[in-house]
Amino acid sequence: MQEFPCLSVGGALAGAADYTLLKRGAFVNLLGTLGRLSLGLLPLVASRLYGPGFSGVALVMASVGICSFLCSAGFSDAAQFLCAHPFDTELKRKDIERIHGVVLAAAAYAIGVSTLCAIVLGATGETLGSLLFSRPGLGPAFLVVAASLPFMSLASITTAVMRSSMRMGSDVIVKSLVLPLVLFASLALLRQATPTSIAICWAFTISQVTAAAVALFLYCRRFKPHGLRSAWGAAPHRAVLRFALPQSLNMAFYQATFDVDLLLLGMASLPDRLITAYRVGSEIARQIFTIRVAFAGVYASLVARLAREGRTSLLSQSIGKVSGWCLWLAAPVAGLCILLRHGILEVAKAPTGQTSFFVVLLLSAVVSCTFGLSGNVLGMSGRPALNLVNAVIATAVNVSLNLLLVPRLQLLGAAIAVATGTCVQQILQLAQVRVLLNVRFSARPLLAATIPVSIAAMSAFVSASLSHSVWLPVAVFIVGYLLVLWPFLGVGRRVHVAV
């Protein structure tokens, strides 16, 4: 039985129409992913501009990043879940007022928690830097980066509501266009004003403030802000909190999967060059993971509706199909990064020969892209507490293996810990959606996506053994993948969805 009172609007659920809009929304978001991938260049650019000075800022941004998910991720997911509605439905005034009520409640709680967290981090940043990382002088960086937390919460919630009908245009504008453009423009201007790495912190905060302003403008343009007082009075506060609190903890642990390894490397007092190199590798792997996020953002609204209506068979078909799309795109991007790993890490001034950790991180990102949508199914079916349990277990595995392996293997040990934690989480999620929701994960779409990249990878390996140039295997990989991909696209078009 549905535990949360979701938005109730008319409109029949037509599988073909939903899949068409799902593809369209994912395609739009994937175009935006190109903008998000540019954020993966920030550690590369910063390490070239500021050298070892960037490692301290990287630790600060990782710490604040975990806090941002704790403060806002659950509330944005709650807003999307409670406001999910068919794309072709004309919302009535009462529906819009209910959406306003959800947004006001979620934003009030998230911004309140974010502001409190920003004050605490700003006041204790110097102490945290000295105690955790043995790095005095990080107080200003903590203060500036933490100031962005309330604005990140506002942008996260408003964009989540705007994609609740599986329309992704506003989300792409805010996160994939405004955010990277303002970030790099601010960094270029501030670089002229100050030669210290604090410029990175200011550029980050300026970009988040701008993104929040644009997101709020787009939200008000789409949902006319009327009846706000009555909307606040009728807001489903209890439903928002019941969903958001466990989901925020879950997402904080999930974010910790990407950042706790970097923090533990900092606590182990590794050299700045190693920490910077790991930050570059983990950030690129994280941007590959955003390929799944591109689909998850639009898919979450469909999952919420299907789960609410008990459409288990359609859920089973949809998760396999969408996961296959994720693999189609994540695997070749990871393959290209593996082929170019020496050049990428050389730009980051990484120690010569230490590239195996990068390969492990990339493969971990592909696994998360392939099977991670099972977590969306759990969360958007009203079971965020299960995701929290899974995230706690995965983080415990991650931290334990980091403590065990980092002293011996350094960067490779941290990467192995991350990959193991990721696999544990995916296994738990897959088992739970099968047992609790009777959602089966079809292997056929994944197999169809694996064959082209496998053939392309083998071709690139053969060409690499025949040539000393890295660009020949890269070209062979791209051409081979596209040639093999073409006939398989026809297979995808012949698969029909039964409603």
Q: What is the DSSP string of 53-102?
A: HHHHHHHHHHHHHHHHIIIIIHHHHHHHHHH---TT----HHHHHHHHHH
Q: How far is CA 439 from the centre of its chain?
A: 23
487 vs 484: CA distance, rounded Å:
6
Buried/exposed 123-154: b ≥16 CB within 10 Å, e otherwise: eebbebbeeebebeebbbbbbbbbbbbbbbbb
Are 484 and 456 in contact by the 8 Å Cβ rule? The answer is: yes
Are 425 and 364 in contact by the 8 Å Cβ rule? The answer is: no
Which pair of tokens denotes residue 344? 């990428």
180 vs 202: CA distance, rounded Å:
14
17 vs 397: CA distance, rounded Å:
42
pLDDT at 7: 52
166 vs 134: CA distance, rounded Å:
46
Q: How far is CA 274 from the centre of its chain?
A: 24
Q: How far is CA 484 from the centre of its chain?
A: 29
Alpha helices, H only, 268-355: 272-309, 312-339, 341-347
Looking at residue 351, the DSSP 8-state letter turns out to be P
Are 354 and 411 in contact by the 8 Å Cβ rule? The answer is: yes
pLDDT per residue rounded down to tens, the chain (499 residues):
344 555 544 444 435 555 566 666 556 656 666 666 666 677 777 777 777 677 788 889 888 988 998 898 889 988 887 887 665 567 788 888 888 999 999 999 999 999 999 999 999 999 988 888 888 889 999 999 999 999 999 999 999 888 776 666 777 788 878 988 999 899 889 888 877 888 999 999 999 999 999 999 999 988 888 888 888 988 888 889 988 888 788 778 777 777 777 888 888 777 877 887 888 888 888 878 777 776 776 677 777 777 777 777 777 887 888 888 788 878 888 888 888 888 777 776 666 667 889 999 999 988 888 888 888 788 777 777 788 888 889 889 998 998 899 888 888 999 999 999 989 988 998 898 888 888 887 777 777 777 777 777 777 777 776 776 767 777 777 776 666 555 445 434 443 333 2
Mention every residue, 6+ apart, whose C-beta is less than 8 A from residue 80.
Answer: 160, 161, 163, 164, 300, 301, 304
411 vs 425: CA distance, rounded Å:
21
474 vs 340: CA distance, rounded Å:
8
Are 175 and 32 in contact by the 8 Å Cβ rule? The answer is: yes
Q: Give the pTM.
A: 0.73
Residue type, 104: L
Mention every residue, 6+ apart, whose C-beta is less than 8 A from residue 192.
Answer: none
Provide the 10 A C-beta neighbour count for residue 202.
21
Q: How far is CA 37 from each of CA 81, 111, 159, 183, 252, rounded to the nearest angstrom?
A: 26, 27, 19, 13, 22
Q: To 10 degrees, the CA torsion angle through 342, 347, 352, 353?
A: -20
Angle at the Cα of 426 from the Cα atoms of 321 and 277, rounded to 5 degrees = 105
Give the closest residue to 46 by CA, choosing from 289, 275, 334: 275
Are 320 and 445 in contact by the 8 Å Cβ rule? The answer is: yes
Radius of gyration of the chain (CA): 22
Angle subtended by helix axes 53-68 and 139-146, to nearest 10: 40
Q: How many CA atoms lie within 13 A of 351 on its CB side?
A: 13
The dihedrals phi and psi of 374, each to the nearest 5 degrees, come to -65, -30
Provide the 10 A C-beta neighbour count for residue 243.
26
pLDDT at 29: 58
Which pair of tokens denotes residue 392? 């706690």
Q: How far is CA 410 from each of CA 148, 251, 266, rounded to the nearest angstrom?
A: 32, 26, 11
Mention every residue, 6+ apart, whose C-beta is less than 8 A from residue 220.
Answer: none
Which pair of tokens denotes residue 250? 């879950």
